[in-house]
Amino acid sequence: MIKFKLNGSVVETDAPSTVRLLDLLREEFELIGSKEGCGEGECGACSVLVDNLVQNSCLIPIGALEGTDVQTIEGYSKTPQYQVLNECYATAGGVQCGFCTPGMIIATEALLSKNPHPSEEEIREGISGNLCRCTGYNMIVDAIQLAAKKGDGLW
Ligand code: FES
Ligand code: FES
């Protein structure tokens, strides 16, 4: 039995400890916002926050989660910070197919919570673990710059 916090509630699972967090989220908890892109820790589509740090859920065996605090895009979407990011990504045109977006949003939260006023270079570095196949990254960078302005005081 593995017990951890998921989007604010304590949960337990009897799944084997080697199961990937990404599979547990999608299959057992039906949280399908975290996506599987590469399955190898390269694309960031599966990003979640574990104890407030951005992590690739495709690389985490659930045995490592005991006692941790996991937040997925579903939980994060209930926060005021998400509302700002949602609006700014839409305004800046940072979402095209949307496949990378949940992971990008999670990476953005991790960045802004550490550094509420990042430079363009720091933004590019902050999302460097997240790939978007649809677009250059300029609109995403614009969205994050906008969010840092609009959400001033939230992070
Ligand atoms: S699916 Fe996890 S990093 Fe690509
Ligand atoms: S919006 Fe399509 S992969 Fe990023």
3 vs 152, residue with greater confidence: 3
Q: Which residues pair with 12 in a beta bridge?
A: 3
Q: Are residues 90 and 146 in the same domain?
A: yes
How far is 67 from 153, CA to CA, in rounded Å?
30
Q: The domain containing residue 85 runs over which residues?
A: 80-150
Domain end marker among 51, 72, 93: 72
- Among residues 29, 56, 72, the one where a domain terminates is 72
CATH number of the domain residue 136 falls in: 1.10.150.120
Give the pLDDT score at 135: 76
**Distance of CA 59 from the midpoint of ligand 1 (Å):** 8
CB of 103 within 8 A of CB of 44? yes
Q: Which atom of ligand 1 is the closest one to the Cα of 58?
A: 2
pLDDT at 101: 97
Q: For 25-72, what is each residue's pLDDT tens digit? A: 999 999 999 999 999 999 999 999 999 999 999 999 999 999 999 999
At 87-130, the pLDDT tens digits run 999 999 999 999 999 999 999 999 999 999 999 999 999 999 99
Ligand 2 contact, 95 CB (< 6 A):
yes
Ligand nearest to the CA of 60: 1
Q: What is the pLDDT of residue 23?
A: 98
> Are 53 and 106 in the same domain?
no
Q: Which of 14, 38, 72 is the last residue of a domain?
A: 72
* pLDDT in the model for residue 136: 76
Looking up residue 62, the CATH number of its domain turns out to be 3.10.20.30
**Over 90: is that where the pLDDT of 152 sits?**
no
Q: What six digits make up the tokens of 26?
A: 């999608």
Distance 153 CA to ligand 2 centre (A): 29
**Are 66 and 106 in a shared domain?**
no
Residue by residue, DSSP assigns 14-60 as -S-TTSBHHHIIIIIS---SS--SSSSSSS-TTEEEETTEEEEGGG-
Q: Which amino acid is at 71?
A: Q
pLDDT band at 139; cut points 50, 70, 90:
very high
Number of domain units in the chain: 2
Question: Which ligand 1 atom minimizes the distance to the CA of 46?
Answer: 2
What pLDDT is stored for residue 64 in this prediction? 97
Considering the domain boundaries, does residue 30 fall inside one?
yes
Cα(16) to centroid(ligand 2), Å: 32
Domain membership of residue 68 (yes or no) is yes
- Our mutation pick for probing the ligand 2 site, out of 134, 137, 142, counting the most ligand atoms within 8 A of Cβ, is 134
CA distance 22 to 58: 5
